[in-house]
Amino acid sequence: MAVDYLCKMCKGHLKVKTSIILAASKMNSSQRGLVLLDPELGNYTTTTHPPFKIEEDAEYVYTCPICHSQLNSGKYKHLVRIIRVEEDGKEYDVYFSDIGGEKCTFKLGEDNIEIAGPDAPRYTKYFDVPEEYRKYL
Ligand SMILES: [Zn+2]
């Protein structure tokens, strides 16, 4: 399925071939680099180039490599927001954790949410969506 990912600020295309490309910098550290994420919801493969790596339990600031806007959510602590555009042109907010090693993804529709990852329960409190409109991937 051909989906696109856009920066929430500049609407620039973050996906190249089979990866989403973001800039990441470790909080309170000079460590920074580019990270490739898998566009498939629930796939937590990240690719970086050594010596830069995403460390378990460390917090990262993600920025758009095009406009340099911060993508970490101001509304939901520890979540990062990008926009997913599906084949039918519909746009969804997709959130993932800014903490290294945490596996959770939320795809927010108008009145429904798709949830993936074993760490998702930590953040479901943010999303006030009735159980019948929640889909667990
Ligand atoms: Zn941008």
CB 61 within 8 A of CB 70: yes
Q: Is 59 helix (H, G, I), strand (E, B) or coil?
A: strand
Higher pLDDT, 24 or 128: 24
Tell me the one-letter amino acid at 134: R
101, amino acid identity? G
Residues with CB in 5 Å of ion ligand 1: 7, 9-10, 12, 64, 66-67, 69
65 Cα: distance to centroid of ligand 1 (angstroms): 7
SS3 16: strand
| Average pLDDT rounded to a whole number, residues 106-133 | 95
How many A from CA of 131 to the centre of ligand 1? 33
- CB neighbourhood size of 48 (10 A): 13
Domain ranges of the chain: 4-136
CA of 7 to the centre of ligand 1 (A): 5
Residue 61 Cα to ligand 1 midpoint, Å, equals 14
What integer pLDDT is reported at residue 1 of this predicted model? 60
Q: Dump pLDDT digits (tens) for 57-73.
A: 999 999 999 999 999 99
The answer to whether residue 82 scores a pLDDT higher than 70 is: yes
Using CA atoms, how far apart are residues 125 and 7, in angstroms rounded to an integer? 25
Which residues lie closer than 8 Å to 94 by C-beta, 6 or more apart?
A: 5, 41, 81, 82, 83, 84, 105, 106, 107, 108
- The DSSP secondary structure of 63-75, one letter per residue, reads E-TTT--B-B-SS
Taking only the tens place, the pLDDT of each residue in 20-31 is: 999 999 999 999
pLDDT, tens digit, 9 for 90 and up, residues 7-49: 999 999 999 999 999 999 999 999 999 999 999 999 999 999 9
Q: How far is the CA of 132 from the centre of ligand 1 (A)?
A: 34
Give 30 Cα–ligand 1 centroid separation in angstroms. Answer: 22
